Structure 1
């Protein structure tokens, strides 16, 4: 079968070639891929790809082989899936616990944009606890996670301020219910909760906008710059603030449960995948370049048909 493999080269991070078709384990289904989404975090892994690793965590398609142990969807069902890797291919084997069926109302292009960004946003909202009436600051809001989180949190009654350097991207976040600023320094504050995804100099700035005993949840470092915190600076900032690290993978439950929730919300018109680009999968290498340069708003989806 055809699949994209990592090259380790910065100018063209992937190339298409022939690889063996996957042989599913007893608890895995085999999915014929119709569409997949690429994530900026995956481009970081592609800089120094692990041996024998192939990229691809967000896919949608058709089950062509059911799990031998009887779990998961049946042959012929359309699904969204979140494999650990290898999804940028014609076929991918996925644990049954990381697959959810798609209703007719949800296309495979929409579904492919859901897993990583949608799961992160949903689980961030859950980690934040009750957000109704709370003032929330979200940094790095113009990507897929930001769009999903703003829509979910605003619907739950949160007062969301989103930081987006792009006025165009900010306009869409405003439509979804956020107050939008271009810099953390412009965020009015104070905030009960900060969700921080940029790292570098942004995290201390965001931390300083918390209320006393407020919480900052750190879920990314898009700037690629390390964070430096000065204890004495905090003496003039929020009293007894909490900084908490968050990983969407640490949830203690299968992805399938939350994938079903995301699909249900999309089907009901309560969650809208923000798809900035749809291209044929032959364009994957070029799309990765655009994604790294932040030229794509929301998610980029590649299609195989």
Structure 2
């Protein structure tokens, strides 16, 4: 079968290789991959790939062999999955507990855009507790996580302010009910909760916008710049603020995937897919995703013909 593997070349991060089909463990199902969605964090890993890296965590496809231990969806079921790695291939072995069945009304493109970003958004908002009537600040809101957080938080009754790099990136979030600014300094606090994903100089500014006794949840460093905090400067800012580190990971993922699928089916969650392309265009798509030339998610299709519809901001 064909699989995409790292090249170590930033200008062309992946290339095709012919490899044996994966052999699932007893608790894994074999999935014929129809679509997969790379994440921006994966583009960073591909700059200096570790030995043995097999990229690919967000997939949708068909169960061609159910898990031998009897767990998970049966053979012939359309599914969305979140394997630890190896999803950018014709076939992937996925733990049964990290799969969710897809109803007829949810296509593979939208499903593939759900896992990492959607699970992150769900678990991030659970960390915040009830959002009804609370003022929330979200930095780095332009990507897939930001879109899902916006739609879910507004739907839960939050008064949400989001920070996006450009007006174009903020248009869709404004339509979903968020107030949009393009610099953290422009956000009108105080906020009950700040969800901070950019790091660098934005972190201390976001922290300064939190009310006394509020919370900042740090869930990313998209700027790739480390954070510097001045202890004495904080004495003149918000008091008793809790800073909580957050990382989404922790299987099983099946229950959260099922929740996301249900919300999509009910039209309460709308994946934003900024590009759909054939997987022969994965290398170019990864570069554009890394350089922020794609709004929302990019989805690559393994079947059909080459030259699928493309979209770029």
Alignment TM-score > 0.5, same fold: yes
1:229 corresponds in structure 2 to 229
Give the 3-state SS of the residue equivalent to 1:276 in structure 2.
strand
Farther off after superposition, 95-104 or 6-15: 6-15
Structure 1 residue 32 displacement after superposition: 0.1
How many angstroms apart in 2 are the aligned matches of 1:66 and 1:222?
A: 37
1:102 corresponds in structure 2 to 102
2:261 corresponds in structure 1 to 263
1:20 corresponds in structure 2 to 20
- Asked if 1:272 corresponds to 2:257, the answer is no
Give the 3-state SS of the residue equivalent to 1:47 in structure 2.
coil
Q: Which structure 2 segments of 5+ residues have no match?
A: 304-313
How many angstroms apart in 1 are the aligned matches of 2:9 and 2:190?
A: 44
Give the 3-state SS of the residue equivalent to 2:244 in structure 1.
strand
How many angstroms apart in 2 are the aligned matches of 1:104 and 1:128?
A: 33
How many angstroms apart in 1 are the aligned matches of 2:87 and 2:67?
A: 17
CA deviations on 1:160-181 (whole Å, 9 max, x unpaired) are 0000011111010001110000
Give the 3-state SS of the residue equivalent to 1:38 in structure 2.
coil
Equivalent residues in 2 for 1:49-64, closer than 5 Å? 49-64=49-64
> How many residue pairs align between the two structures?
303
Alignment TM-score, normalising by the size of structure 2: 0.96
Q: Which structure 1 segments of 5+ residues have no match?
A: none
Give the 3-state SS of the residue equivalent to 2:37 in structure 1.
strand
How many angstroms apart in 1 are the aligned matches of 2:42 and 2:29?
A: 23
How many angstroms apart in 2 are the aligned matches of 1:269 and 1:134?
A: 24
How many angstroms apart in 2 are the aligned matches of 1:31 and 1:110?
A: 17
Give the 3-state SS of the residue equivalent to 1:68 in structure 2.
coil
Equivalent residues in 2 for 1:179-218, closer than 5 Å? 179-218=179-218
How many angstroms apart in 1 are the aligned matches of 2:40 and 2:116?
A: 11
How many angstroms apart in 1 are the aligned matches of 2:169 and 2:201?
A: 22
- Asked if 1:293 corresponds to 2:302, the answer is no
How many angstroms apart in 2 are the aligned matches of 1:292 and 1:78?
A: 30
How many angstroms apart in 2 are the aligned matches of 1:191 and 1:23?
A: 50
Alignment TM-score, normalising by the size of structure 1: 0.98
Give the 3-state SS of the residue equivalent to 2:293 in structure 1.
coil
1:175 corresponds in structure 2 to 175
Give the 3-state SS of the residue equivalent to 1:21 in structure 2.
coil
Structure 1 residue 49 displacement after superposition: 1.3
Equivalent residues in 2 for 1:68-87, closer than 5 Å? 68-87=68-87
Give the 3-state SS of the residue equivalent to 2:46 in structure 1.
helix
Structure 1 residue 50 displacement after superposition: 1.7
Moved over 4 A (4+): none
- Asked if 1:281 corresponds to 2:286, the answer is no
CA deviations on 1:14-35 (whole Å, 9 max, x unpaired) are 1111111100000000000000
2:302 corresponds in structure 1 to 304
CA deviations on 1:180-214 (whole Å, 9 max, x unpaired) are 00000100111000000000001001000000011
Give the 3-state SS of the residue equivalent to 1:142 in structure 2.
coil
How many angstroms apart in 2 are the aligned matches of 1:214 and 1:42?
A: 32
1:46 corresponds in structure 2 to 46
How many angstroms apart in 2 are the aligned matches of 1:177 and 1:257?
A: 27
* Pairwise CA RMSD: 0.7
Give the 3-state SS of the residue equivalent to 1:80 in structure 2.
strand
Structure 1 residue 48 displacement after superposition: 1.6
2:141 corresponds in structure 1 to 141
Structure 1 residue 279 displacement after superposition: 0.3
How many angstroms apart in 2 are the aligned matches of 1:246 and 1:97?
A: 22
